[in-house]
Amino acid sequence: MRLSICSASATATAACLWLVGLGTASALETAEEIRECSHANFPESTSIQLIELKSLDRAGSERVMDARLHWKRHNDGHVRLMIRILGPQDLKGSAYLVIENKPRDSVYLYAPAIGRPRRIVGGGGKGIWGTDFSYEDIRLLQMSSTATPAERLPDSEVAGRATYVISQSPDADRESVYVKTVSYVDKETCVSLQTEYYEAEDQPRKRLLVDPETVKQVGGKWTAHDLEITDLGEDTRSWIQVKDISVDEDISARFFNTVQFYKN
């Protein structure tokens, strides 16, 4: 099985991409402790990632994109995230900026054919650049947003790894296409190895999987390098593969400026 990026949810999967392997991870008791262990895995300040995005539609057609992701945590704890497409040529230069705010994030999209960035309102469940990763999926992977109190469910296993299981709902004051997420958090690393995204209480709409074999330490934090997301309703799949990561280095503020983020 091939997989790609990692996650945490407004809901609490924010630990996939960046996770700290705490020595007490296998002895956590409450859902809040598990969530805090996951959230502790984000970089202290910044991250730059070279990633590959791949999508596969129901007809078996494959599309591959290379991109650079810039991530920064500000002093108020809010995160800014920018993704710029490096190839193929028909999408090169396209960019996506998310500024974490309450009750609604500020989201901007730039396409060379349009020639200027435009602000996006709504559309949290729509996939970006033809992938199954929506704006909200990306934010849940990359932003350690708080959520309503998490509920611990019976422990389970994913790919032979012992996991905690917690269910979370989105912040009451934040718009979301999901009513809850269920995360299967590895007891050794606090990385979420599986996350289910529910649009209705009894049926997940999407499922994110992380290959445990790709979870490695980067800058003292456990990092998943391959993730796979499946849209269970559409029967399509997408992957994010992390090619390279640097953490806690200086990043120019222009990458997160609403009128400059798409410029080289």
Domains of the chain: 25-256 (2.50.20.10)
**pLDDT tens sequence across 38-93:** 888 888 899 999 999 999 998 999 999 999 999 999 888 889 999 999 999 999 99
Across 12-16, 28-32, 143-147, 155-159, least confident range: 12-16
The total number of residues written for the chain in this structure: 264
CB-based contacts of 154: which residues, under 8 Å, 6+ apart?
165
Mean predicted confidence (pLDDT) in 158-165: 97
d(CA 34, CA 39): 9
pTM: 0.85
CB-CB neighbours of 14 under 10 Å: 31
What phi, psi does 128 have (nearest 5°)?
-100, 140
Who's near 63: CB < 8 A, 6+ residues apart?
Answer: 54, 55, 130
User: pLDDT tens digits, residue range 238-251?
Assistant: 999 999 999 999 99
Residue 125, pLDDT > 80, answer no
pLDDT digits (tens, 9 = 90+) for 193-244: 999 999 988 889 999 999 999 999 998 899 899 999 999 999 999 999 999 9
What's the pLDDT score for residue 229?
Answer: 97
Residue type, 119: R
